């Protein structure tokens, strides 16, 4: 055989061997190094790579619980239900109003301040409500102004004038509830224009108070406000 043909044959054999290595040898190595992923786990970890079906892979960093076990879902739902705070139900059970017959701006100012202090007050079961304790002593520093008030039977200007109309309205709303006991109440010495004689409740800080005991088995919540030229007090059952 011609020497040139022998050299050519050797070169072809070498090239053929190299090509066979690249086509068969590397594919076998890839299959050994990258076996098919195991999907038997109930979920895929955050950094696992999975095949896309097109020869490439994608990272699951942005996939949360790609395969989720139903037992895990039920557990989360139950925990959320167990940890949820049951909202309180408020039901209005009493309301009373008295007309504003003296609408001087100072008196209206005082009534509004006192209503804001009363509103939201919760009287728990077996507890006692005290008007003077909740409202405190009226003072100009708190925004109270001088307005008409009865002092020792005389009509005078006093800081906090108008508070007695709020306490009177509370008294009449509270006494309508079964299980509420009026433990302290005082009448004015003279008639007042916003309610009949004998139905009022005068107050004077640290001297005359309006008190009632909540003997029910539920809490009471008070709301006081001015509407349509009247003073209103609503009492809610909280359960």
For every one of its 239 residues, what pLDDT tens digit does the chain have, with 9 covering 90 and above? Answer: 566 667 777 777 777 776 766 666 555 555 444 444 443 333 333 343 444 444 444 444 443 433 333 334 433 334 434 456 667 899 999 999 999 999 999 999 999 999 999 999 999 999 999 999 999 999 999 999 999 887 777 778 899 999 999 999 999 999 999 999 999 999 998 899 999 999 999 999 989 999 999 999 999 999 999 999 999 999 999 98
Percent of the chain with pLDDT strictly greater than 90: 56
Report which of 226, 238, 160, 149 is spatially closest to residue 193, judged by C-alpha positions: 149
Cα(147)–Cα(150) distance, integer angstroms: 10
Contacts of 225 (CB under 8 A, 6+ apart): 115, 119, 231, 232
């Amino acid at each position: 055989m011609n020497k040139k043909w022998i050299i050519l044959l050797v070169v072809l054999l070498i090239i053929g061997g190299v090509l066979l290595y690249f086509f068969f040898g590397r594919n076998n190595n890839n299959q050994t190094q990258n076996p098919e992923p195991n999907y038997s786990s109930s979920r895929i970890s955050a950094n696992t790579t999975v095949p896309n079906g097109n020869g490439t892979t994608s990272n699951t960093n942005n996939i949360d619980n790609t395969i989720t076990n139903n037992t895990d879902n039920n557990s989360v739902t139950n925990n959320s239900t167990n940890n949820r705070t049951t909202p309180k139900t408020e039901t209005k059970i009493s309301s009373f109003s008295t007309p504003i017959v003296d609408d001087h701006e100072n008196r209206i100012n005082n009534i509004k301040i006192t209503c804001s202090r009363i509103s939201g007050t919760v009287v728990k079961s077996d507890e006692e409500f005290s008007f003077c304790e909740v409202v405190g002593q009226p003072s100009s520093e708190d925004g109270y102004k001088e307005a008409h008030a009865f002092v020792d039977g005389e009509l005078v200007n006093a800081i906090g004038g108008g508070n007695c109309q709020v306490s009177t309205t509370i008294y009449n709303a509270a006494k309508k509830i079964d299980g509420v006991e009026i433990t302290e109440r005082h009448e004015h010495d003279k008639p007042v224009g916003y309610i009949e004689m004998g139905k009022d409740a005068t107050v004077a800080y640290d001297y005359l108070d309006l008190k009632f005991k909540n003997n029910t088995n539920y809490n009471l919540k008070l709301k006081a406000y001015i509407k349509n030229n009247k003073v209103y007090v609503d009492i809610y059952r909280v359960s």
